Amino acid sequence: MEKIITIDNLIFEYAHSEEHSRQLALNDVNLDIYAGSFTAIIGKNGSGKSTLAKNLNGLLIPTSGVVYVDGYDTADDDTIWEIRQRAGMVFQNPDNQLVSSIVEDDVAFGPENLGVEPAEIRRRVDKALEDVNMGKYKNKAPHLLSGGQKQRIAIAGVVAMKPDIIIFDEPTAMLDPKGRKEIMKIIAELHEEGITVILITHFMEEVIDADRVIIMHDGNVLLDGTPEEVFSKADIIKGANLEVPLMVELGDRLRAQGIPVPKGIIKEEEMVKAICQLKSQN
């Protein structure tokens, strides 16, 4: 697979001007992200995951080390717009991304700033709203929409710019379970269309369908692998004060009862069979 993001020896420090001190947020991070992949990055508040996300499209510039997006150095001011066009970003609070009083104008804002022709903007806006199931709301005012609907509009605004990569920085954190499920469905569909997805989240259940899971802890990469590989190391995850997905936790409890289920992600049918076996023993 082709690398689309390369992170080499990335260190990022936040400066505190009043205290004349610096806080280390990322500590020598090295990662490659591949085109068309779905990478989930999880960790507790303060783990560095959102700081890492903002370093991926030039919102933050490394204190040292380098980040390349499709070959462009994020620290190079001359290519920052090429980077932003390739790597779109959806934030936790959609209100911070909505800029217009009409939904379709909001979705058109990005392509307009890229100098896209009006006829192509019209096509992109309609397609992006269709992708997030918000076409019937195109003439509505964003402030009248629910939180989940606003987040869909924010996603449509990024999709309309046709990026190769979309970085989702905790996009479901402010939503109810129904809204979270809807946004995750849209993210999965965008990935199926070939977009490289990077999902930052602290909801463990949101990473099950990712190709790759990275767990951040104190600015470092604690674990990196497939969901099966990462969640087979539940002791390490819990040692970082993180929860594991319910199916992983149930698997641990079944093994403690002597039921031979595999570590990591357990398929639903395997779990049902194991529970039935436990009940038959009792």
What CATH number corresponds to the domain at position 22? 3.40.50.300
The two beta strands, 87-90 and 165-169, are parallel
pLDDT at 170: 94
Burial class (CB in 10 A: 0-12, 13-18, 19+), 161: buried
CA 280, CA 258: separation in Å to the nearest integer?
13
54 plus 138 within the same structural domain: yes
- Tally of structural domains, the chain: 2
Question: Mind listing the pLDDT tens digit of every residue in the chain (282 residues)?
Answer: 799 999 999 999 998 766 667 899 999 999 999 999 999 999 998 999 999 999 999 999 999 999 999 999 999 999 998 998 999 999 999 998 898 999 999 999 999 988 999 999 999 999 999 999 999 999 999 999 999 999 999 999 999 999 999 999 999 999 999 999 999 999 999 999 999 999 999 888 888 889 999 999 999 999 999 988 998 888 899 888 888 877 777 777 777 777 776 666 666 666 666 667 666 666
87-122 as b/e, with b when 16 or more CB fall inside 10 Å?
A: bbbbbbbbeebbeeeebbebbbbbbeeeebeeeebe
The encoded tokens of residue 69 equal 């997006």
Residue 81: Cβ within 10 Å count: 13
CA 167, CA 69: separation in Å to the nearest integer?
12
Give SS3 for 96: helix
278 plus 138 within the same structural domain: no
250 plus 171 within the same structural domain: no
Q: What is the DSSP letter of 183?
A: H
Residues 6+ apart with CB under 8 A from 51: 12, 25, 26, 60, 219
26 plus 70 within the same structural domain: yes
Domain that holds residue 29: 3-243
Residues 6+ apart with CB under 8 A from 34: 1, 2, 3, 4, 196
222 plus 249 within the same structural domain: no
Q: Residue 23: how many CA atoms within 13 Å on its side-chain side?
A: 13
pLDDT at 192: 95
C-beta of residue 9 within 8 angstroms of C-beta of residue 28: yes
207 plus 237 within the same structural domain: yes
265 plus 237 within the same structural domain: no
251 plus 236 within the same structural domain: no
The two beta strands, 38-42 and 196-201, are parallel
C-beta of residue 207 within 8 angstroms of C-beta of residue 201: yes
pLDDT at 265: 64
Residue ranges of alpha helices (H) inside the chain are 49-55, 80-86, 103-113, 118-131, 147-159, 177-192, 227-231, 234-239, 246-256, 268-281
129 plus 257 within the same structural domain: no
User: Measuring CA to CA, how many Å separate 13 from each of 65, 119, 147, 169, 200?
Assistant: 12, 44, 32, 19, 19
pLDDT at 244: 81
CA 29, CA 220: separation in Å to the nearest integer?
6
Torsion sign over Cα 216, 217, 223, 229: negative
201 plus 267 within the same structural domain: no
pLDDT at 254: 73
112 plus 62 within the same structural domain: yes
252 plus 164 within the same structural domain: no
Sheet of 21-34: strand order equals 21-34, 3-16, 64-69, 72-73
